[in-house]
Structure 1
Amino acid sequence: MSTVAKEIVGLYERHASAFDAQRGRSLFEKPWLDRFLALLAPGASVLDIGCGSAEPIARYIIEAGYAVSGVDSSPSLIALCRTRFPDRDWQVADMRTLALSRTFEGLLAWDSFFHLTPEDQRGMFAVFRAHAAPSAALMFTSGPAHGEAIGTFGGEPLYHGSLAPAEYRALLADQGFEIVHHLAEDESCGGHTVWLARRNEAAYDARSGDLR
């Protein structure tokens, strides 16, 4: 499993064109994206973590009037983002070591975060917090239960990992995020398990003794 997990970055780069061509544009994710955007002020800054080729999700958020930036580990996918939306900030970066030295009102990791191993996922919650402005919204997808699974893409094994729901809840709380909405295996959204949370500084201060 660990060997396959390490191949994720290279896999998406090798198959960037195929991924872009096969990525559905029907935007079945729209109800969840609208819940996420409802937590933001008009024109708020949004960081798309694992943005792929910027379609369809980043496009939808951009066209809704938000200031979208995106990061992805694939240079070829980021090149597509820059071609489609040259006036936006797109960067090649590994989400596990992300350090942009700025915060955003919204953080989105849709169908990207779940390619990390459970260990790496645990480390991501500090990364989320480091890039979250006060009251920032955070939305990500995961598996429904703790475990690892291998799919395929481009004839190569494709890794997925997940923590248990109770651990996600604990990690969110530890970093000062309050769950707004969560649904496992949402049938109306292609079976996705979705977490929508918001940074709650008062809750974080209570847990941490006001250490920041």
Structure 2
Amino acid sequence: MDTTDPKDIVRRGYDAVAARYDEAYGGDTKYRPWLDELRRLLPPGGTVLDLGCGSGVPVARTLSDAGHPVTGVDISEVQIRRARERVPGAEFHRADVTDVAFEAGSFDAVVCFYALIHLPSAEQPPLLGRVARWLRPGGRFVATTGHHAWTGVEEDWLGGGVPMWWSHTDAAGYREWITRAGLTVEREEYVPEGDTGHALFRARKPVSP
């Protein structure tokens, strides 16, 4: 085990503070407006991919309960185990999100909340390209990204005694990456968090004429 590998830092961090993370960020109540909006936009029974699904709460649970088949992917074994217990109707995979593969046009929506920013920056544009291929024409992509460019470590994340690692460009960079991937950015907003914040992007795969 390479404890200097950023992805290993992320995996071990979420393994260690899985329950604490849900408590700190609101559990079932987090992302409520974002998910309510997505539910209104999805077709009945529309399929959803949740990249960085964590414990399955609230994204997989909310959308699965609404009748949408959900596939979740997360690097943390502890989080995936919790997700399978909490959302037995969804399908979960313990994997690096940059390693998974799906057929083109598999999903009506791809959600990625606070997960893209845990990947090395160089790996993020290729993943966005794959996301675009996985979406059906007209499919939705909803994701949080960095707002300011930064790469670094917090040594005692959430007071859990473990480090956590992030890497992200700024909002303009993400707008360019998402567009270059073949998606149309429909809305972008700033999501404050403490003395900093993130960008929230809502994008769509164009429908071919």
Which residue does the alignment assign to 1:143? 146
Give the whole-Å Cα distance in 1 for the aligned partners of 2:113 and 2:37: 14
Residue by residue over 1:121-140, the C-alpha shift from the partner in whole angstroms, topping out at 9 and shown as x without a partner, is: 22221221232122110011
| TM-fit CA distance, 1:186 | 4.6
Which residue does the alignment assign to 2:100? 98
**Identity of matched residues, %:** 28
- 2:82 is the alignment partner of 1:80: yes
Counterpart residue identity of residue 135, structure 2: A
Residue by residue over 1:89-129, the C-alpha shift from the partner in whole angstroms, topping out at 9 and shown as x without a partner, is: 11111101121336110100111111112112222212212
| TM-fit CA distance, 1:16 | 3.2
Give the whole-Å Cα distance in 1 for the aligned partners of 2:66 and 2:37: 13
Give the whole-Å Cα distance in 2 for the aligned partners of 1:185 and 1:53: 22
Give the whole-Å Cα distance in 1 for the aligned partners of 2:92 and 2:144: 21
Give the whole-Å Cα distance in 1 for the aligned partners of 2:65 and 2:88: 14
TM-score w.r.t. structure 1 length? Answer: 0.82
SS in 2 for 1:136: strand
- 2:182 is the alignment partner of 1:180: no
Structure 1 ranges of 4+ moved more than 3 A: 14-23
Counterpart residue identity of residue 101, structure 1: E
Give the whole-Å Cα distance in 2 for the aligned partners of 1:121 and 1:196: 17
Counterpart residue identity of residue 107, structure 2: F
Tell me which moved more, 44-53 or 6-15: 6-15
Cα-Cα RMSD = 2.5
- Kept in 1, the 8 Å contact 2:56–2:83? The answer is yes
Which residue does the alignment assign to 1:194? 200
Unpaired runs of at least 5, structure 2: none
Unpaired runs of at least 5, structure 1: 204-212
Residue by residue over 1:143-184, the C-alpha shift from the partner in whole angstroms, topping out at 9 and shown as x without a partner, is: 112222433242222112221222222222222100111102
Counterpart residue identity of residue 13, structure 1: D
- 2:131 is the alignment partner of 1:125: no
SS in 1 for 2:34: helix
